[in-house]
Amino acid sequence: MQVFQYPEKSAWPELLQRPVLDTTALETSVGNILADVKQNGDAAVRKYAQQFDKVQLQQLEVTPAEFSKAAASLDPELKKAILQAKHNIEVFHKAQQESSRIIETMPGVQCWRKAVAIEKVGLYIPGGSAPLFSTILMLGIPAMIAGCKEIVLCTPSNAAGEVHPAVLFTAEQIGLERVFKIGGVQAIGAMAYGTETVPRVHKIFGPGNQYVTCAKQLVNKDGVAIDMPAGPSEVAVLADDTCVPAFVAADLLSQAEHGPDSQVLLVTTAESIIEPVQKEVAAQLEQLPRKDIAARALENSRIILVRDNQEAMELLNAYAPEHLIVACVDDISIADAVVNAGSVFLGNYSPESAGDYASGTNHTLPTNGYATAYSGVSLDSFLKKITFQRLSQEGLQQIGATIETMAAAEGLDAHKQAVTIRLNYKAKK
């Protein structure tokens, strides 16, 4: 990791640049696959499963027998861990439920807002080198709590047409019954446009590689909502001389192992910790099965020495990290200065892995600087908030002149007339 000491503020934008991913070259090929799925449905899905995943899919949907087999084959300790994580995530997301309140803005004018679940949602769970069954908890649990009527899950199978048992066990535990053995761009297309087998949905959630990300962006242009813009995973650590260098190194590597395009950042007020952290990173890196991937990610990563916590937080808010770890003696007070971050981990004993798996918060978070304007997935992500109003005759008389004056000033006479005709109305006896 490159070290930068006391950089001038003018150098921050260049210093905080993410690895650039140019998706324009992908758009043509991804767009062609989406168009094929839109037109040819299941046949196109099967064709691309054969081409990309080397699997001949006779049946696209997972059967009850496959769910049963997965549950029977999974390690009991993993089952126990999944159920503990499920409990914590449910507790945190149920607490996000809000009751509707009627607000009387003036006599006779009542306004309120009601939360309504998005009826049909699609969840994408990547397979590849690591089946992300934890993401099923993060997406499926709030979808179920919200009350979405139809929840579709797509995830790639292996070459034998089997879905990882942890994926199926997790889906079954939270009540997801419709799981399809479809991965990649074709899965996004199937959920966006619908096929003979896969239902069309209104909003698509879930992480994926650059092809999946590009597909989500393209179907979004076609009118299908998506959870958020997403890029490679990232973490920033703010540490002072009270941190444990081995912990900091482990946190940096936990994100670096995601992929070669991931980025990790260490910001510190203590020059004395830089060398110990670097030594720990080098030592721990050698022990990782995914060390080649992590090493490539570290090439995009930086250590930045700053003068004080105020400067550190100004720099970190400019970076807007997906994950922010504050390993400092005054972590609670520093937390008040956080403006832009996806999820924050405070103190030496709050690894980012806790939020990734089991603490209860959601791990589907804005990356690539989008934390300046986007939140992570929550219960609200699966809800629409619809506003209502009810005016009594007295209420319209109270507010009518205000509406008439404003409508007339905007030159919208029909708007004014909709009020005037009511104010002048005499009910027939």
Q: pLDDT per residue over 256-287, tens digit each?
A: 998 888 999 999 999 999 999 999 999 999 99
Options 3.40.1190.10, 1.10.10.10, 1.20.1260.10, 3.40.50.1980; CATH for 231-375 is 3.40.50.1980
- Asked if pLDDT for residue 429 goes beyond 60, the answer is no
The DSSP element (H or E) to which 266 belongs, if any, is strand 263-268
54: its two tokens: 């080397």
> Which of 371, 385, 383, 266 has the alpha carbon at shortest distance from 328?
266
410 carries a ligand binding annotation:
yes
Residue range 39-97, pLDDT digits in tens: 999 999 999 999 998 999 989 999 999 999 999 999 999 999 999 999 999 999 999 99
Of the chain, the percentage scoring pLDDT greater than 90 comes to 91
Asked whether the domain spanning 392-423 has the same topology as the one spanning 24-101+116-226, the reply is no
Residue 159 φ/ψ, nearest 5 degrees: -65, -20
Q: Which amino acid is at 34?
A: L
Give the active site residue among 66, 280, 322, 352: 322
Regarding the domain delimited by 24-101+116-226, which CATH topology (the fold level of the hierarchy) does it fall under?
Rossmann fold (3.40.50)
The confidence score (pLDDT) of residue 153 equals: 98
Query: Is 287 assigned a ligand-binding role in the annotation?
Result: no
342 has a pLDDT exceeding 90: yes
Radius of gyration from C-alpha coordinates of the chain: 26
| 323 assigned to active site | yes
Is 323 within any annotated ligand binding site? Answer: yes
Domain 392-423 belongs to what architecture?
Answer: Up-down Bundle (1.20)
Contacts of 111 (CB under 8 A, 6+ apart): 102, 103, 104, 105, 387, 388, 389
The CA–CA distances, whole Å, from 34 to 45, 156, 186, 221, 260 equal: 10, 17, 7, 12, 27
Tokens of 233: 């995973």
Catalytic residue among 93, 164, 323, 363: 323
Does 87 belong to an annotated binding site? no
Which pLDDT score, from 0 to 100, does residue 21 have?
67
> What pTM value is reported for the model?
0.94
Q: Give the Cβ contact number of residue 364 at 10 Å.
A: 20
- The reported pLDDT for the residue numbered 131 is 83
Question: What are the sequence ranges of the domains in the chain?
Answer: 24-101+116-226, 231-375, 392-423
Q: Is 186 annotated as a binding residue?
A: yes
